[in-house]
Amino acid sequence: MPAPLIPLTRWPGPSTTGVPPGVRLTPSGPLEVKRDGQVVTDLHITGYVNVYARDVVIRRSRITCTTGPFAIRTLGSAVNLLVEDVEIDGQDVAAAAVHLDDYTLRRVDVHHVRDGLRLGSRTTVVDSWIHDLAQGPGTHSDCLHVSDATDVLIRHNRLDAYHHDSGDAANSCLLLDGAVHNLRFEENYCDGGAYSVTILPELVASNAVVRDNVFGRGQKINAVNRPTHPGIYWDNSNVWLDTGEPVA
């Protein structure tokens, strides 16, 4: 196989995501966040964070999710949640790191969860790293699962569904199903999955744009299964890492 034309350091990784070096974390149990504008910072949370309020910030913290199903969940009137410089360790028990609507992730390190993120409406994920998904009987792991969502932006993330140690490809880097409208999936690195981008046949989509992404070769089958699905715009700027050639 030819050497990669594009260095993986172009995308987020261990040195650019999660808790910044030098931050001292205070131990905490599970949190129920119910005050608008509350800032949660510099904590090592064992358990989960349920967010019910508007404009909450979770920053410079580690969440070790020992009970599941979700490390962070938006509930009730939660709107405009910001999660940045956070590490989420799902301990192989969490169904997903974050669920479901009205959140933004920046520079987040997600690992050992069955699904990295469940994305609903008004969600943004940028400059983050999702890797080492949970393995075991019955796991059907996706780095990102977008379902019944409107207004989704996924930009400049590293999505490692492929386990280099075990050779397990997981299910996908990005799974689209239900009804998905106004989605941008761009400038990401994707490796692994049966298909790295899995578009289910029943998907109802409009204005879903997939462009400027780079793909490794860890898939079982191919980078994408239905690039011409109605409502999907699959651009020729999606290329293989090792050759720079467009992904057909």
What is the structure's pLDDT at 184? 98
Are 64 and 160 part of one and the same domain? no
Answer yes or no: is 11 within a domain. no
Answer yes or no: is 54 within a domain. yes
What is the structure's pLDDT at 68? 79
What is the structure's pLDDT at 1? 46
CA–CA separation, 154 and 238 (whole Å): 14
Are 159 and 191 part of one and the same domain? yes
Answer yes or no: is 78 within a domain. yes
Are 38 and 135 part of one and the same domain? no
Answer yes or no: is 74 within a domain. yes
Answer yes or no: is 1 within a domain. no
Answer yes or no: is 2 within a domain. no
Q: Which of 203, 195, 189 is nearest to 225 (CA)?
A: 195
What is the structure's pLDDT at 167? 82
Residues 6+ apart with CB under 8 A from 125: 104, 105, 108, 117, 119, 144, 153, 154, 155, 157
Query: Residue ranges of the chain with pLDDT lower than 70?
Result: 1-4, 138
Are 31 and 126 part of one and the same domain? no
Answer yes or no: is 5 within a domain. no
- CA angle (24 as vertex; 23, 26 as ends), nearest 5: 135
Which 3 state secondary structure label does DSSP give 71? strand
Answer yes or no: is 124 within a domain. yes
Are 120 and 87 part of one and the same domain? no
Integer angstrom CA distances of residue 26 from 29, 42, 56, 109? 10, 6, 19, 19
- CA angle (239 as vertex; 237, 242 as ends), nearest 5: 150
CA–CA separation, 152 and 52 (whole Å): 21
Q: Which of 129, 136, 124, 85 is nearest to 111 (CA)?
A: 129
What is the structure's pLDDT at 2? 54
Are 120 and 236 part of one and the same domain? yes
The domain total for the chain is 2
Q: Which domain holds residue 88?
A: 26-94
Paired residues of 172 in beta bridges: 142
